[in-house]
Amino acid sequence: MADGLHAGFLPGRHPIDAYGNGGFRFGEMSHRGSILVLPSGVRAWEVAEARAIDRNALRPVQAESEGIDLLLLGTGLDIVPLPAPLRAWLKDNGIGLDVMQTGAAARTYNILVAENRKVAAALIAVA
């Protein structure tokens, strides 16, 4: 984990400055691996592939559901839809979902956060 992150967490809203090479740049630092970008801050996410996404992996998103209208899910280089029960669980928590490639999700997140929208992103790192 990069300097400035405590226990895999950087508080505050930060745009994604870059992605690729197995990680991300944000908040004037970098992180190798996947990340969750939530209203409370950016945290390391122990998901390396889309098929590993389940309720447990998305619990931090659920915990902040009051501050999230839309979750952008970047599933790597390929778009991998979530199973219907998991999509329904997010909907039941009041969270919309848009699944796309990680790069598109990072770019879309930056646009929506600049518009002060209630958005979060779950981004799987790509090489």
Instruction: Go through the domains of the chain in sequence order and give each one's CATH number.
Output: 9-123 (3.40.1230.10)
Amino acid 7: pLDDT: 64
Ramachandran angles phi, psi of 97, nearest 5°: -135, 135
Amino acid 46: pLDDT: 95
Taking the C-alpha atoms of residue 127 and residue 125, their distance in angstroms, rounded to an integer, is: 7
Q: Which residues contact 115 (CB under 8 A, 6 or more apart)?
A: none
Amino acid 6: pLDDT: 53
Per-residue pLDDT of the chain (127 residues; tens, 9 = 90+): 444 445 688 999 999 999 999 999 999 889 999 999 999 999 999 999 999 999 999 999 999 999 999 999 999 999 999 999 999 999 999 999 999 999 999 999 999 999 999 999 999 999 9
